[in-house]
Amino acid sequence: MSNGEKDLFRSLLEDIKKKRELASLGEDFVIDRIREYIKENPKILHKKLDTKIKKSREYRGLVKDIRRKLRIIYGIYYFDVDKGRQLLDRLKLVMDVNDEDVLNTYSDLLSLHPSTEERMDKYPLVYKRIFDVTGKPNSILDLGSGLNPLSYIFMGLEKVDYVATELTKKEVDFLNDYFKIMGKYGLNGKAMKIDLLQLENYKKLNNVDVCFMFKLLESLEFVERDISKKIIKLIPAKYIVVSFSTKSLSGVAIRKKGRKWFRALVKDFKAFNVGNELFYVIKK
């Protein structure tokens, strides 16, 4: 890579991460997305590679396009970690003191993200439908988990080993702080920083009873076509639970009947809808 290209990458990295919801993403992850974009659009390297490029329409378009791609991969899972930490402090104070305050705190925590907020009053039914197929698990792997581990109170499990993965250190640290609070309540949890686009490089995932991938695969498919097949093959679980939204963020119905592209990947599964979410429980 020439010095001009290095300067361009550094400049793009700095400008892309100025957006708050993308600021905590790792540099290597963002640079990989820049490389992918430039590989798909090689003409960008024929532009003048100096500081003046920042003023060009092409440069501004490049930043905008890569930010859009990153939002699809990660932005829809973003939540306010700083606010979440304030709520964790409250949770520590009210646990074992006041059940109503505990539930209200969980409600505020799960409301930090649209998916967990939408699923909040449906979680008991979701887990009942899942565990009717899988049986009550002793171990769970939650890929691209977001705030989903906080739904443990709705699982009806007395004890479970729980591994959650996220893309940024900030979110991993938040989840590990939550797991510390819940350790004496049967949740033996650990969060790990993993780039799911490079899942084959991670050797630390133990065999589990159930793996959750809620509203995850379509965003990964946007980056790498057919990556779902690779991930499903790599997951060391007896059962995999995948979900898809049946409505867009604007509330418009998604017209992808049954996710045929996904059904072509799996054979032994049960499917059901709860609210605006379609779930597949797959036996490996």
Provide the Cα torsion 157, 81, 112, 30; round to 10°.
-100
Residue that finishes a domain, picked among 55, 73, 91? 73
Same domain, 277 and 172: yes
Residue 21 falls inside a structural domain: yes
Is the per-residue pLDDT at 260 higher than 90?
no
Q: Are 79 and 112 in contact (CB under 8 A)?
A: yes
Mapped onto helix, strand or coil, the DSSP state of residue 140 is strand
Same domain, 22 and 131: no
Which residues have a Cβ under 8 Å from the Cβ of 73 and sit 6 or more positions away?
33, 219, 220, 222, 223
Is the per-residue pLDDT at 281 higher than 80?
yes
Same domain, 67 and 181: no
Structure token pair of residue 33:
């997305």
Region class of 186: left (phi > 0), else alpha (psi between -120 and 50), else beta: left
- Type of residue found at 231: I
Residue 227 falls inside a structural domain: yes
Residue 175 falls inside a structural domain: yes
Q: Band of the pLDDT at 20, cuts 50, 70, 90?
A: confident
Full-prediction pTM beyond 0.95? no
Same domain, 140 and 195: yes
Which domain range does residue 248 map to? Answer: 114-283
Q: Band of the pLDDT at 235, cuts 50, 70, 90?
A: very high
Mapped onto helix, strand or coil, the DSSP state of residue 215 is coil
Same domain, 135 and 273: yes
Residue 53 falls inside a structural domain: yes
Same domain, 228 and 146: yes
Provide the Cα torsion 180, 182, 78, 142; round to 10°.
100
Is the per-residue pLDDT at 141 higher than 90?
yes
Q: Band of the pLDDT at 254, cuts 50, 70, 90?
A: low
In the chain, the percentage of residues whose pLDDT exceeds 90 is 53
- Span 93-116, mean pLDDT? 93
Residue 238 falls inside a structural domain: yes
Q: Are 20 and 27 in contact (CB under 8 A)?
A: no
Question: Which residue in 192, 248, 191 sits closest to 215, CA to CA?
Answer: 248
Is the per-residue pLDDT at 258 higher than 60?
no
Q: Which of 1-10, 68-77, 142-151, 186-195 is the least confident region?
A: 1-10
Residue 58 falls inside a structural domain: yes
Residue that finishes a domain, picked among 15, 42, 73? 73
Same domain, 144 and 66: no
Structure token pair of residue 81:
């970690």
Distance CA 178, CA 166 (A): 14
- Span 109-123, mean pLDDT? 94
Residue 87 falls inside a structural domain: no
Q: Band of the pLDDT at 49, cuts 50, 70, 90?
A: very low
Same domain, 244 and 163: yes
In the chain, the percentage of residues whose pLDDT exceeds 70 is 88
Higher pLDDT, 12 or 121: 121
Same domain, 46 and 161: no
Is the per-residue pLDDT at 215 higher than 60?
yes
Residue that finishes a domain, picked among 12, 44, 73? 73
Residue 84 falls inside a structural domain: no
Provide the Cα torsion 120, 103, 185, 181; round to 10°.
100
- What pLDDT score was predicted for residue 54? 63
Same domain, 68 and 170: no
- What pLDDT score was predicted for residue 200? 87
Task: Burial-class residue 113 by CB neighbours within 10 Å (0-12, 13-18, 19+).
Answer: buried
- Span 164-189, mean pLDDT? 95
Q: Are 190 and 162 in contact (CB under 8 A)?
A: yes
- Span 254-264, mean pLDDT? 74
Q: Which of 42-56, 126-140, 156-170, 204-218 is the least confident region?
A: 42-56
Structure token pair of residue 185:
């309540």
- Span 82-99, mean pLDDT? 93
For the chain, the domain total comes to: 2
- What pLDDT score was predicted for residue 270? 96
Distance CA 279, CA 260 (A): 13
**CATH of residue 241:** 3.40.50.150
Same domain, 25 and 149: no
Question: Which residue in 142, 181, 182 sits closest to 159, CA to CA?
Answer: 182
Same domain, 58 and 134: no
Is the per-residue pLDDT at 82 higher than 70?
yes
Q: Are 80 and 110 in contact (CB under 8 A)?
A: no
End-to-end alpha-carbon separation of the chain, Å?
Answer: 43
